[in-house]
Chain A
């Protein structure tokens, strides 16, 4: 495979949830691509479909409730959507690893963390128990857990929140994955610990050469870590750009509203914050036009009738907005 080909390409992904109350279009036509070693940020508010996108890539969604109804997830040239469960298991934790928001719920409380890291290494790399445990110690050292040789035999509850997230990172990276999905990895942590974890994640990603998709609601975290950013709203991508371009000149009215509404340290000392009026739309009813139109100050009749495509507005800055030119 040539070096510049994207490692992951998500094309028009559609994931729907089927509940008693109707069909929820949680992910409604999402496309983006990721180069090897790149850090892509996906940002959006709760319910925008950012987590469901990540879970769709790894096919970790509840099978009876949800289904990928359309689109492709091309990872290293193979579409993952039609793969069966054994083939996905080969990829999960091995080629693609994931870190979740709450480390305690993704660690098994009755196994030592050494056993849990070693298990992944044994299954995917065919290592012996002894080699796998040695690898576990090595990984714990890598994520800078002090006294790793002893702590490898400890149980998850013996670690603090920040330490647990380090263990999760160690586990995720133990098989040298090509892609790391991090879903709100620092949201449950304190700010001083958040900074340590983000630094560690980015540093190790460089060493291992993984690409990273960082999912967060926090524009600050995005600005400090991502190279490129995808902004999601109501299950759709509304804007995609290099991080500096996005923060310098956001094109979509939603992104602009979002940036104006956050209080910034030592930056914006206006007495009032800008508000985005209204609330997010109900995803159970199909939205024919732009999903943001009901809250958008620039909305026209066209916006309410036809959904704008995600188009290049110049130098790789994509926005899905009929009025992107009007600022």
Chain B
């Protein structure tokens, strides 16, 4: 069985345009050679701090942005070069849930229209038939069917995220890309949405590409984790392995920095200095070398390759050669 999604060497550089002629004067290297694959029914989590390119990867997979390089395969078919029309049948297989439950639902439309939009587009449904399908979808995400006739502002943040999930489920996708789907929600509501997402995964055999900055959430929902730093994957593998024995110093620092809701917990004292460098001008060699507590001369010059460290887990760090 082939992967639902396989990306290989994905690159996205955004130009910085200046002057009258709008010529690019520099490039933001948002994503710089990212490769991974997601099997059916699996959850791969992309984690990292702001500016690491995790959301850009999500947008590239959805074709909301055009990649600068690399390939995207859905069910084994290379869709990178397809135009919008040829891509249309593939759109059904990949759907998205957005971070902001307020801004991702058009405030002027009723819930029935929002959730029904994909069904109008792909199945030509309208009127009563459409309304019935939407009511069914709302029931699947735990909303009452009467919600069809209401506007988004009549719902709370958690309920809106359910509406977003219903819209994503409408076309029976194989993969749902979720970009920080719970980070705008209150903690008690986060749990409701995370549980719902796991229930839906079981019921429909969904695969998730789950983008998040919150390691605790990622550990809860994920099967595998990919850690990104400045547009590159620095470590990828099964969640338990990656989080319990991180091989890359950045992964270790991320785990150490996650606040633990237990005053008695023993804490890793590793604290990173400084901020994330600008992706406009990423450091030479290993991009993490400016903040790495274990930096060596070699790290400044030579870019470490992502390679298998333990079965199923790969990391990119010169320390692993020792």
Contacts and interface: CB of A to CB of B under 8 A. Distances in A.
A contacting B, Cβ–Cβ less than 8 Å = yes
Interface string B217-231: 101110000000000
Contact of A194 (B195, B198, B257): B257
B275 A261 contact: no
B263 A262 contact: no
B217 A263 contact: yes
Given A220-B260, A266-B244, A261 B216 contact: no
A46 B185 CA distance: 9
Contact of B258 (A248, A257, A265, A269): A265
Contact of B186 (A45, A199, A244, A271): A45
Interface string B182-219: 00001111111011001000000000000001111101
Interface of A: 45-46, 160-163, 190-196, 199, 217-224, 243-244, 247-248, 257-259, 261-267, 269, 271-276, 279-280
Nearest to A194: B257
A258 B194 contact: no
B263 A265 contact: no
Nearest to B159: A279
Interface in B4-34: none
A191 B49 contact: yes
Interface in B117-169: 156, 158-159
A280 B244 CA distance: 36
Contacts of A194: 257, 259
A265 B219 contact: yes
Interface residues of B, number: 45
A273 B272 contact: no
Nearest to B278: A160
Contact of B271 (A196, A265, A276): A196
Contacts of A45: 186-188
B188 A261 contact: yes
Interface string B240-274: 00011000000001111111111111010001110
A191 B257 contact: yes
Contacts of A257: 188
Contacts of B216: 220, 262-265
A264 B261 CA distance: 7
A264 B187 contact: no
Given A261-B188, A262-B187, A223 B265 contact: yes
A223 to B, nearest CB: 5
Contacts of A275: 188, 191-192, 195
A272 B190 CA distance: 12
B77 interface: no
Contacts of A161: 275
B259 A263 contact: no
Contact of A220 (B159, B186, B244, B258): B258
B50 interface: yes
Contact of A190 (B191, B194, B213, B220): B213
B276 interface: yes
A146 B60 CA distance: 37
A192 B272 contact: yes
A190 B276 contact: yes
A269 to B, nearest CB: 8
Contacts of A192: 49, 253-254, 257, 271-272, 291
Contacts of A222: 261
Contacts of A218: 259
A162 B272 CA distance: 12
Nearest to B219: A265
A259 B263 CA distance: 13
B259 A261 contact: no
A162 B191 CA distance: 29
A267 B275 contact: no
B101 to A, nearest CB: 13
Contacts of B217: 263
A241 to B, nearest CB: 11
Q: For B256, B259, B267, which residue has the most chain A Cβ atoms within 10 angstroms?
A: B259
A258 B187 contact: yes
B255 A265 contact: yes
Contact of A224 (B214, B267, B272): B267
Given A162-B275, A243-B263, A258-B188, A263 B195 contact: no
A247 B263 contact: yes
A273 B275 contact: no
A223 B243 CA distance: 21
Contacts of B244: 266
Contact of B262 (A196, A247, A263, A273): A247
Given A190-B49, A196-B271, A266 B191 contact: no
A160 B216 CA distance: 26
Contacts of A259: 261
B273 A264 contact: no
